[in-house]
Amino acid sequence: MFVLGLACMALLLSSCCRKQAPVAQEQALNEGLAPQITNIGARSGWLLDGEWKSIVDLYETGYYDYRRAPMPTGRTYFREDSFYDDPTQLVEIDFDRAPTLKVPGDWNTQRKDLYYYEGSVWYRRAFEVPQQEGKRYFLYFEGANYETVVGLNGKVLGKHTGGFTPFNFEITDGLRPGSNNVTAMVSNKRRLENVPTINFDWWNYGGLTRSVRVVETPATFIRDYSLQLKKGSMNTLAGWVQLDGAQAQQKVCVEIPELGLSQELSTDAKGYASFEVAAEPELWCPENPKLYAVCFKAETDSVSDRIGFRCIETRGNAIFLNGKQVFLRGVSVHDEQPLEGGGRAYSPEHARQTLQWVKEMNGNFVRLAHYPHNEAMIRTAEEMGIMVWSEIPVYWTIAWDNPDTYANAINQLSENITRDRNRCNIVIWSVANETPLSDARLKFLSGLIDKARELDDTRLVSAAMEKEYIDEEKALLTVVDPLAEKVDLMSFNQYVGWYDGDSDKCDRVTWTFRINKPVLISEFGGGAKAGRHGARNERFTEEYMEYMYQKNVAMLSRIPGLSGATPWILKDFRSPKRMLVGIQDDYNRKGVVSEFGEKKLAFYVMQDWYARLRDEYAAK
């Protein structure tokens, strides 16, 4: 999808009535966005969730002319109601009579005719918000998959690319008293140059999959901030504040009442101030997920958050949380509703059910695969004492040589870190999953790792690398990946017993590593349809899966420096790659829980292993 460059957009707006050749377009990643506002839930505003009018536009007739050139805004579907109500106009669509789609929510699970749909859908709704003089207004999207062009009251605001991170537009000037209309064209088309690319093992859920809201701020407000223990310290807090608005130089006070802390700052001409301050907070950990009420008070704005303080680090081949060695007792998770048979998750209720299963498994960790999950998942996990591996969808065969693809990945990483940097339970930023080795791939991922460390030095960085046999005869496995030098954890996926031999092969496999770092098995597992029983060598039976898990647990326990595991996967999930009728039926069946919440025998293998590890590490 091409978007009018902002400059030529203004030109076209002024001449939309005159017949005019479309202006040459540029392939833009993002257009018209305002800098991302963090902790959006703390902001006053109005949710625009609910039923939005929707029009399926497979050929993007509402955006391109018959020569496939983008049309001037005045000829697209981003029109004022007056156009649609004018009988003299050539109108070939009618939002008023269109069906609706619920927001938040993917379209694939809302309508049978959209089950496999990959293309563009127009969303539109009217809304009114009371406006105050001197205030600013933003239109904030928590997430939409995959490309989204947004218009307000007949004017295109801009575009966002990426299916799993928030974005916002300033609408202070475009908002009007009384009724406003917001229109969004969302496309989930897969493209080779996208992130992810065209091939991935999950359902390509499209749409306004997460909430939309209008947010009100003072003219100068606290747009972003960071507060955490200083890297490597447990008694010094380090942080910064970023104001947005004309009154950039202000006094800002950072208050943590429970610690009796009140730190005064003076922001510079760019509205920025950083600080360090001695403090002895009670540290956040799974056993005691302590969060502090923190208030950032500027002269013109204040914003509150609940922040936990913790120190995550590695020493040799072990991981330490707050100076105590930990084992990351985890499981991989897709961002799907836990009990509805699929569909994008978006609510605290969805998160609580999913994370309750993790707790029942005696887990203290989740790998949120393969893209940033909805914010409620991270915040609920933080409250429940569950650590998080957060990942961007640099998955499989990405277009490593394409600079736009790299810019897209950097942007998604930055948006993810901006949204979640103050969520203490995120302990790992992951930049990739199962990516084939090449020089271009190493350069691409090295850049992402450097960016992650630049944006946030308080967390570990990793990627799900791939294992290699260095001696097939002896079944000797290792990780031969130059990325291993750059990450903090030696994480990799291995499927001995499923894609790689049968379950008994696990007895013969041994592991060796040339680098002394903690090892995290980011995936292992195999499939079974819940309730399908048979011999333990019969694929897709619960008995096969249980036995294979038992053999894997024994094998993994022999790995030197094993410090974490996230078996693939907590719950059966929708994937178009899983077509075995009667068993898969469009579901990847590697969940230890079915898509309707039935626990399989393998669930209890993990529950038992993690109970033993919990007790072993508690005694350290």
Residue ranges that bind ligand GCU, judged by CB under 6 A: 201, 370, 433-434, 493, 523, 568, 588, 590
Sheet of 324-326: strand order equals: 312-315, 318-321, 324-326
Q: Which of 201, 197, 151, 109 is nearest to 3 (CA)?
A: 151
Angle between helices 375-384 and 403-420 (to 10 degrees): 40
Nearest CB to ligand GCU, comparing residues 423 and 590: 590
What H or E segment, with its residue span, contains residue 159? strand 155-161
Tokens linked to 343: 């569909």
Nearest CB to ligand GCU, comparing residues 141 and 492: 492
Nearest CB to ligand GCU, comparing residues 91 and 437: 437
Write down the least CB distance from residue 377 to ligand GCU, Å. Answer: 18
Write down the least CB distance from residue 361 to ligand GCU, Å. Answer: 19
3-state secondary structure of 339: coil
Write down the least CB distance from residue 3 to ligand GCU, Å. Answer: 31
Estimate to the nearest angstrom the gap between the alpha carbon of 105 and the chain centroid. 15
> β-strand 587-588 against 573-574: which pairing, if any?
antiparallel
Write down the least CB distance from residue 317 to ligand GCU, Å. Answer: 23
Residue identified by tokens 């649609």 is 84
The Cβ of residue 606 has, within 10 Å, a number of other Cβ atoms equal to 24
Write down the least CB distance from residue 523 to ligand GCU, Å. Answer: 5
Nearest CB to ligand GCU, comparing residues 55 and 520: 520
Instruction: Give the up-direction half-sphere exposure of residue 27: CA atoms within 13 A in the CB hemisphere.
Output: 8
Nearest CB to ligand GCU, comparing residues 31 and 523: 523
Nearest CB to ligand GCU, comparing residues 332 and 550: 332
Nearest CB to ligand GCU, comparing residues 590 and 600: 590
Nearest CB to ligand GCU, comparing residues 20 and 397: 397
The span from the CA of 441 to the CA of 409, in Å, is 12
Write down the least CB distance from residue 602 to ligand GCU, Å. Answer: 14
The span from the CA of 565 to the CA of 546, in Å, is 17
The span from the CA of 227 to the CA of 239, in Å, is 4
3-state secondary structure of 330: strand
Ramachandran angles phi, psi of 235, nearest 5° = -140, 20
The Cβ of residue 471 has, within 10 Å, a number of other Cβ atoms equal to 11
Write down the least CB distance from residue 590 to ligand GCU, Å. Answer: 5
Adjacent-strand bridge partners of 349? none
The span from the CA of 158 to the CA of 149, in Å, is 6
Write down the least CB distance from residue 471 to ligand GCU, Å. Answer: 23
* Residue whose Cβ sits closest to ligand GCU: 201
The span from the CA of 332 to the CA of 388, in Å, is 10
Nearest CB to ligand GCU, comparing residues 181 and 412: 412
Write down the least CB distance from residue 437 to ligand GCU, Å. Answer: 16
Write down the least CB distance from residue 521 to ligand GCU, Å. Answer: 11
Nearest CB to ligand GCU, comparing residues 486 and 590: 590
> β-strand 426-433 against 387-391: which pairing, if any?
parallel
3-state secondary structure of 611: helix
